[in-house]
């Protein structure tokens, strides 16, 4: 295959993706991604030099509204879904020493 | 006639005429669920108590003359990536295993506003990534036509539930074919609307520029009625379009005289099961006999749609799924050292293989040094694909072709080779890239006794052309659902 994914690349992708991969998973991921990129390289057969990238099919614009609260106070309901909460807030591991 | 054999509109009419009540319909659906779920597993969550309570309330609304629409009292299923207040919404992922939304998605709200009764949440490929419903953390769904086969995906649970008569109709979502392909595999009718037609507010995002919610039903008339209800301008979705002429049921005329129908040669070539090709040809003939003008043409660029789709969808997924971090909702890993390790372990344990594969691909194609070569290249390709469709719709009112290159594969066959599975989306993904409306309509059964679907694609905002052609074709068809006591029509 044409695309060989290096250990450095897969480690970097792991950081960007916030994923922790075992050595076995890394090897599989290198293979899968290489194969997929080989397939995606098919796009190189298409001349797109005169084409602008199209992110949306219709013209989209920001939708603005007045900054007023329209929903009720659902803090308790939202916190119900949190894996850990404390004093009405999301609890996370200590981030600053 | 068995209540369960009724279409959604037929049921709604009977309820309106007081021949049946919303409660009786809901009880019938729940009985069907409890006797069949151990075989098919269409649902991740069924809330009997809530559905029965709601059915009682809706019946009161109907009797008081406040709920008068065609779907009042109809029990429906909702795909599990569409948020429902107070009802668990998992996206068929471990990472959202205990997530209970604090609000209802606009599309589900519109359905409830029309008097529909939500029975539960249907199984799907995890985060809608897959074509078989086998990547669900909560187990596979089986095809009601043959339980050794997949229902397709990602809206496999919604389509199987309608086919198994465990719901009268359902909501699905379609990013690259996820309504249309399982509809074809399960012998039901599924419609993906023009991008921007149905609000995505409350739809848990996969590929935001491609995602659309749409109806899954027993026939074209039900799809049209559902689409009328779902088409609402929503300021909460910045891509919501203010649609005009949303009376989609007015296109149920059966009249296709003079309609110009194009069949892309490049959708009928290599890789297509000859039995499906024959079904498309029969469909073309049936429409021609009714006065439509059918001809073949070259759509072009078909082979570039899948690579462009996987770059764009994965890129958007990698960004959209970064919100799952074990802080605000869902799963958090048991043991960790510090914040970053918690994120990484939570996501690695919470996401399945296919989801991780796409997050990694998406992160890669967006990363510095590769962004132009992959991501921008795919967006340029998308522009060319849109242009090719625009050219086709200068000549044709609607495009006809196969929905998928094969009928439903056996369970366990597809995940062995992800790339091969991706190729099954060949006729559906370009429609999402171009933002167009399209519908899969059952037409024919293969020698394994599995249903075949044909796809109608319309120009932007031309759902009515799709519905008109689909309805006319449907009138020429003998059909019934598996397990149905009488012929469906």
- By C-alpha distance, the chain A residue nearest B431 is A57
Domain-located, residue B196: yes
pLDDT band at A72 (very low <50, low <70, confident <90, very high): confident
pLDDT at position B479 over 80: no
- Nearest-CB residue to B327 (from A10, A77, A92): A92
pLDDT digits (tens, 9 = 90+) for B365-415: 999 999 999 999 999 999 999 999 999 999 999 999 999 999 999 999 999
CATH code of the domain in which B147 resides: 3.90.1300.10
CA distance, residue B21 to nearest chain A CA (Å)? 34
Residue B487 has a pLDDT of 38
The average pLDDT across B248-261 equals 98
Query: Chain A within 8 Å of B417 (Cβ-Cβ)?
Result: no
Q: For each of the domains in chain A, give its residue range(s) and CATH number, in order of start.
A: 7-45 (1.10.20)
pLDDT at position B256 over 60: yes
The average pLDDT across A73-80 equals 92
3-state secondary structure of B206: coil
pLDDT band at A1 (very low <50, low <70, confident <90, very high): low
Residue B484 has a pLDDT of 64
Residue B331 in tokens: 């799963």
Share of chain B above pLDDT 70, in %: 98
Burial class (CB within 10 angstroms; exposed 0-12, middle 13-18, buried 19+) of B423: middle
Range list of β-strands (E), B265-390: 293-297
Q: Which domain holds residue B420?
A: 3-266+280-297+391-474
| Residue B154 known to be catalytic | yes
Domain-located, residue B209: yes
pLDDT digits (tens, 9 = 90+) for A9-52: 999 999 999 999 999 999 999 999 999 999 999 999 999 999 99
| Residue B178 known to be catalytic | yes
How does the average pLDDT of chain B come out, rounded?
A: 96
Domain-located, residue B60: yes
Q: How far apart are the first and last CA of chain A?
A: 47
CA distance, residue A36 to nearest chain B CA (Å)? 7
Measured between alpha carbons, how far is B27 from B486 in angstroms, rounded to an integer?
21
Contact B348 A84 (CB under 8 A): no
pLDDT at position B483 over 70: no
3-state secondary structure of B483: coil
pLDDT band at B489 (very low <50, low <70, confident <90, very high): very low
Domain-located, residue B44: yes
- Do you find a cis peptide bond into B303, omega within 30 degrees of 0? no
- The three state secondary structure string of B371-432 is HHHHHHHHHHHHHHHHHHHHHHHHHCCEEEEECCCCCCCECCCCCCCHHHHHHCCCCCHHHH
Helix axis angle, B220-230 to B463-474, nearest 10° = 160
pLDDT digits (tens, 9 = 90+) for B431-442: 999 999 999 999
By residue count, chain B amounts to 489
User: Residues B79, B121, B142, B464: which is the catalytic one?
Assistant: B79
pLDDT digits (tens, 9 = 90+) for B447-460: 999 999 999 999 99
pLDDT band at A95 (very low <50, low <70, confident <90, very high): confident
Measured between alpha carbons, how far is B415 from B429 in angstroms, rounded to an integer?
19
- By C-alpha distance, the chain A residue nearest B85 is A77
- Nearest-CB residue to B360 (from A19, A56, A92): A19
pLDDT band at A96 (very low <50, low <70, confident <90, very high): confident
Residue B317 in tokens: 């997924």
Domain-located, residue B32: yes
Question: A95: how many CB neighbours lie within 10 A of its CB?
Answer: 8
Domain-located, residue B254: yes
Domain-located, residue B324: no
pLDDT digits (tens, 9 = 90+) for B149-177: 999 999 999 999 999 999 999 999 999 99
Q: How far apart are the first and last CA of chain B?
A: 12
Of B455, B454, B456, B459, nearest to B435 (Cα)? B459
Share of chain B above pLDDT 90, in %: 96
pLDDT band at A86 (very low <50, low <70, confident <90, very high): very high
pLDDT digits (tens, 9 = 90+) for B20-58: 999 999 999 999 999 999 999 999 999 999 999 999 999
- By C-alpha distance, the chain A residue nearest B390 is A57
CA distance, residue A86 to nearest chain B CA (Å)? 12
Q: Which residues pair with B402 in a beta bridge?
A: B454
pLDDT at position B300 over 60: yes
pTM above 0.95, yes or no: yes
Residue B174 has a pLDDT of 98
Domain-located, residue B344: no
pLDDT digits (tens, 9 = 90+) for B102-132: 999 999 999 999 999 999 999 999 999 999 9
Query: Chain B within 8 Å of A51 (Cβ-Cβ)?
Result: yes
CA angle B408, B41, B29 (to 5 degrees): 110
How many independent structural domains does chain B possess?
1
Contact B364 A16 (CB under 8 A): yes
Query: Chain B within 8 Å of A16 (Cβ-Cβ)?
Result: yes
């Amino acid at each position: 295959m044409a695309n060989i994914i290096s250990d450095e690349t897969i480690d970097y992708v792991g950081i960007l993706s916030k994923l922790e991969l075992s050595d076995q998973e890394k090897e599989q991921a290198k293979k899968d991604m290489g194969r997929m990129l080989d397939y995606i390289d098919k796009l190189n057969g298409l001349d797109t030099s005169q084409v602008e990238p199209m992110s949306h099919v219709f013209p989209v614009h920001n939708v603005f509204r007045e900054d007023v609260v329209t929903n009720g106070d659902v803090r308790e309901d939202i916190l119900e879904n949190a894996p850990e909460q404390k004093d009405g807030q999301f609890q996370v591991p200590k981030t600053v020493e | 006639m068995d209540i369960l054999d009724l279409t959604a509109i037929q049921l709604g009419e009977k309820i309106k005429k007081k021949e049946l009540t919303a409660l009786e319909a809901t009880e019938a659906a729940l009985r069907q669920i409890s006797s069949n779920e151990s075989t098919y597993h269409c649902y991740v969550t069924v809330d009997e108590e809530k559905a029965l309570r709601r059915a009682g309330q809706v019946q009161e609304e109907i009797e008081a003359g406040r709920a008068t629409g065609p779907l009042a009292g109809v029990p429906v299923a909702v795909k599990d990536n569409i948020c429902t207040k107070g009802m668990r919404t998992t996206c068929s992922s471990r990472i959202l295993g205990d997530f209970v939304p604090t609000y209802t998605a606009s599309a589900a709200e519109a359905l409830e506003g029309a008097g529909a009764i939500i029975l539960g949440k249907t199984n799907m490929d995890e985060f809608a990534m897959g074509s078989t419903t086998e990547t669900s953390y909560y187990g596979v769904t089986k095809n009601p036509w043959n339980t050794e086969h997949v229902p397709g995906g990602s809206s496999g649970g919604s389509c199987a539930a309608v086919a198994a008569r465990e719901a009268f109709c359902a909501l699905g979502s379609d990013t690259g074919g996820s309504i249309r392909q399982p509809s074809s595999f399960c012998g039901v009718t599924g419609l993906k609307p023009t991008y921007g037609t149905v609000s995505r507010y409350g739809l848990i995002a996969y590929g935001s520029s491609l995602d659309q919610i749409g109806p899954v039903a027993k026939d074209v008339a039900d799809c049209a009625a559902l689409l009328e209800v779902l088409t609402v301008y929503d300021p909460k979705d910045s891509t919501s379009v203010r649609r005009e002429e949303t009376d989609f049921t007015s296109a149920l005329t059966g009249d296709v005289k003079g309609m110009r129908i194009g069949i892309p040669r490049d959708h009928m070539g290599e890789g297509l099961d000859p039995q499906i090709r024959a079904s498309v040809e029969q469909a073309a003939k049936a429409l021609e006999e009714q006065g439509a003008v059918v001809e073949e043409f070259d759509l072009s660029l078909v082979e570039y749609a899948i690579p462009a789709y996987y770059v764009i969808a994965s890129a958007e997924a990698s960004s959209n799924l970064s919100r799952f971090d074990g802080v605000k909702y869902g799963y958090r890993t048991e043991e960790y050292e510090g914040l970053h390790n918690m994120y990484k372990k939570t996501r690695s344990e919470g996401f399945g293989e296919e989801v991780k594969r796409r997050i990694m691909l998406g992160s890669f194609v967006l990363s510095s040094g590769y962004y132009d070569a992959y991501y921008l290249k795919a967006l340029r390709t998308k522009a060319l694909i849109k242009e090719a469709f625009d050219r086709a719709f200068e000549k044709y009112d609607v495009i006809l072709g196969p929905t998928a290159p094969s009928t439903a594969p056996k369970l366990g066959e597809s995940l062995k080779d992800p790339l091969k599975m991706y190729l099954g989306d060949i006729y559906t993904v370009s429609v999402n890239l171009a933002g167009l409306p399209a519908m899969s309509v059952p037409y024919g059964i293969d020698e394994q006794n599995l249903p075949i679907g044909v796809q109608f694609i319309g120009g932007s905002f031309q759902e009515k052309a799709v519905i008109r052609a689909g309805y006319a074709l449907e009138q020429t068809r003998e059909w019934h659902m598996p397990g149905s006591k009488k012929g469906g029509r």
